[in-house]
Structure 1
């Protein structure tokens, strides 16, 4: 469930197409941030925009999932979304103070581009209309997005990250920059159908015989990539000569991973059985090294800037005068 929360929190502007009903009057106020109101109508539309994005990842049943005793996900989702709206409004107000708002021409340009995309998808356009998303709402969102981006860009430009800070972060997170990876290719002879249902025992025996034949060819020195292109049932890697690229521990099924990490570079495995079928694996490279600080200092700087920006938003939101109308919030349904 923490993963779900982190996905929602990471979204700045999500798009969803599911309407949400409510008995709340549109002029009621959900929250006030430094005398700027978030109306229930605006809140409902924003909730609706996000809703399908979450459902597409986790299914429609996610809303009634209990995240803690007596608290369902739909209730926490509403709180998370409202806090994001409050944070966005606080940032917008700060951008305004710092003369970082976009020009009318910039907003109009982005709005025209958005409208063009929407108009090209009639089904999507109708779904937006169904939940009351009009041009005024879209234009407001475009202006806010541009303002927030300007604010973030300016923050990154003016915030100094010292070499000492970056080195300390590297030392504190040294394990994160240690690479223990394998690069391998494989040939998969599947034992499941297109719906991932197991094949019959007879078909499974045929698959194993085929895998054994392919293994003999590979061990005899036939080009592994050519064999993968001809025989592999893995649609993703088969056309690439079986190449899976580099992977770390935990990224492959346990049976596959154990053999791949045990093989030496250039070695070909015996048949490895997994839930997907029979694999013939060839390890093509291994990396076992600590990535030097100089190679990752730029990414560390980006990480520290992101952390500092997050701290800045929390600070601004904490200092802002925020009033929530819990009675109105409770009446709004997903």
Structure 2
């Protein structure tokens, strides 16, 4: 559920979320931020933009998933998107006070690049028009996105993160910097057809027989990478001789993970069955070590800066005068 919930919250930097406008467009107001309006049309268009991404990842039935007792994902999604639009407007206002707004030329450049990308894809352009992402919406989006980026960059330059803070974070999160990884290759004999449907019992028996024959050849000393290139049904790794690179726990299906982490470098597994089919796994390396502080201190600094930025946005939002129009919000459907 945590992963599902996070999809509803756009990152402050990197993903644009259109917030407020002085124009009277739209048939109502969903919220005001220090007197600035977030109109129904702006809100609905933003919802529609992110709705496409959510459905692409989780399917169209995701909206009725219960994420909290008595709360469906659709309602939490609506709430989170509006809160994010409010946050963007609050940061935009602060950027304006601090003389950090982008120039017209900068906005024009980013807007023209976006328009060029949209115009080059007819289907995408049609989708954007369908949800109401017109030129005004897109331009406002780019302007506010640049303003937020400017404010974040300025914030990062002015906030000092001490070495003591970074070392404390490292000690408090030491387990996050412990490497427990396996480097492995595999040969997959699939038990699914091209449409992802399970094979018949007879075809599955044939697949297992093929896997057993390949296992004998691999354990008798034939080159594993060549066997994978010629026989593996995993298109993502077959061309690389079955090489999957390094992976940690939680990245592979349970059956595959258990077998791989129980092997020593150079060992080949027996046949491992998963929902994808029959796997033959060869472990080529294992890493089990604590990553030194000096190797991760730059990433820790970025984490701490982002945490402080989030605290700053929360502070600015608490200080702002915000009014939500619940009656209007309740009528908006996903």
Q: TM-score, with normalisation over the residues of structure 2? A: 0.92
Counterpart in 1 of 2:180? Answer: 180
C-alpha distance 115-290 of structure 1, shift in aligned 2 (>3 A): same
Counterpart in 2 of 1:22? Answer: none
Deviation beyond 4 Å, 4+ runs, structure 1: none
Counterpart Cα distance in 1 of 2:97 and 2:327: 32
Counterpart in 1 of 2:299? Answer: 299
Residues 33, 89 of structure 1: 8 Å contact kept: yes
Counterpart in 2 of 1:93? Answer: 93
1:115 partner SS = helix
What is the alpha-carbon root mean square deviation over aligned residues?
1.8
Q: Does 1:320 align with 2:320?
A: yes
Query: Once the two structures are superposed, what CA deviation does each residue of 1:182-209 show, in whole Å capped at 9, x if it has no partner?
Result: 1111111222222333323332332222
C-alpha distance 129-257 of structure 1, shift in aligned 2 (>3 A): closer
The alpha-carbon deviation at position 256 of structure 1 amounts to 2.0
Counterpart Cα distance in 2 of 1:252 and 1:300: 27
Counterpart in 1 of 2:230? Answer: 230
Counterpart in 2 of 1:39? Answer: 39
1:9 partner SS = coil
Is the deviation greater in 135-144 or in 249-258? 249-258
2:199 partner SS = coil
2:133 partner SS = coil
Counterpart in 1 of 2:162? Answer: 162
Is the deviation greater in 266-275 or in 86-95? 266-275
Counterpart in 1 of 2:22? Answer: none
Counterpart Cα distance in 2 of 1:295 and 1:317: 35
The alpha-carbon deviation at position 309 of structure 1 amounts to 0.8
Counterpart in 1 of 2:84? Answer: 84
The alpha-carbon deviation at position 180 of structure 1 amounts to 1.0
The alpha-carbon deviation at position 53 of structure 1 amounts to 1.6
Structure 1 residues without counterparts, runs of 5 or longer: 16-24
Query: Once the two structures are superposed, what CA deviation does each residue of 1:59-108 show, in whole Å capped at 9, x if it has no partner?
Result: 22222333334433222222111111110000000101111100001111
2:8 partner SS = helix
Aligned residues: 325
Residues 14, 53 of structure 1: 8 Å contact kept: no
Counterpart in 1 of 2:137? Answer: 137
1:280 partner SS = strand
The alpha-carbon deviation at position 332 of structure 1 amounts to 2.3
Counterpart Cα distance in 2 of 1:69 and 1:212: 48
Counterpart Cα distance in 2 of 1:130 and 1:196: 32
The alpha-carbon deviation at position 11 of structure 1 amounts to 4.2
C-alpha distance 248-108 of structure 1, shift in aligned 2 (>3 A): same
Is the deviation greater in 76-85 or in 208-217? 208-217
C-alpha distance 48-207 of structure 1, shift in aligned 2 (>3 A): closer
Structure 2 residues without counterparts, runs of 5 or longer: 18-24
